[in-house]
Chains A and B, each alone.
Chain A
């Protein structure tokens, strides 16, 4: 089964500080995703990537940057954290059509971020 890990698992940050959330997957999936999950909003896509060196904006990219330095790693960067970015962040990986479990996404355990 696909293995996706995230670090840190919990983070407390100060308003205006920089936060980097990291994600690693070991299944050689081309696509990786960053979501945030909030009560009343469900899972919302922030950024995604089709492979090393690529990043794409999702549905709510404002205030976030992403970096995909390698097939395995995908980071989410909050340059100037704000209290509204307090949330649970999930990373996921998957592949597109014709590559097995196409379209299925495998999620990491999540990072709980609190911005004070």
Chain B
């Protein structure tokens, strides 16, 4: 079973709407959680990361972490067609030198 599970598998949202992506993990000792974005045919690229419980906002992007419920999420406000991509969540091992990725959520933002 995947150690890091993402939902939904895919999502279609209208331009300007909120996009919400979810990730659950199984290792309560994990210390670093991140979201990567991968446009079609391109390399994954780090989007945002968080270390402690709570919320972190950067522009239109907000990441939430709840270690007690083994859950973190990404919210994209005012979604744009350029946000259409595969979104990968990842958790780090305790040493911070190894990431485990989820399968990904494919997002399509329709104009």
Chain A positions within 8 Å of B, measured between CB atoms, are 31, 40-45, 48, 50, 58-59, 90, 94, 96-97, 102-110
Where chain B touches its partner, the secondary structure class is loop
Residues of B25-53 contacting chain A, CB below 8 A: 32, 34, 42-46, 49
Instruction: Please tell me which one of the listed residues A48, A109, A110 contacts residue B98 in the complex, with CB atoms under 8 A apart.
Output: A48
- Cα separation A69 to B32 with both chains bound (whole Å): 29
Task: State how many residues of chain B have any CB contact under 8 Å with chain A.
Answer: 21
What's the minimum C-beta distance from A108 to chain B, rounded to whole angstroms?
Answer: 6
Instruction: Please tell me which one of the listed residues B44, B45, B97 contacts residue A103 in the complex, with CB atoms under 8 A apart.
Output: B97
> In the complex, how many residue pairs between chain A and chain B have their CB atoms under 8 Å apart?
51
In the complex, the answer to whether B102 meets A50 with C-beta atoms within 8 Å is: no
- Cα separation A4 to B16 with both chains bound (whole Å): 34
Chain B positions within 8 Å of A, measured between CB atoms, are 2, 32, 34, 42-46, 49, 88, 92, 95-104
Given contacts A40-B103, A42-B103, A42-B104, contact A104 B46 (CB under 8 A): yes
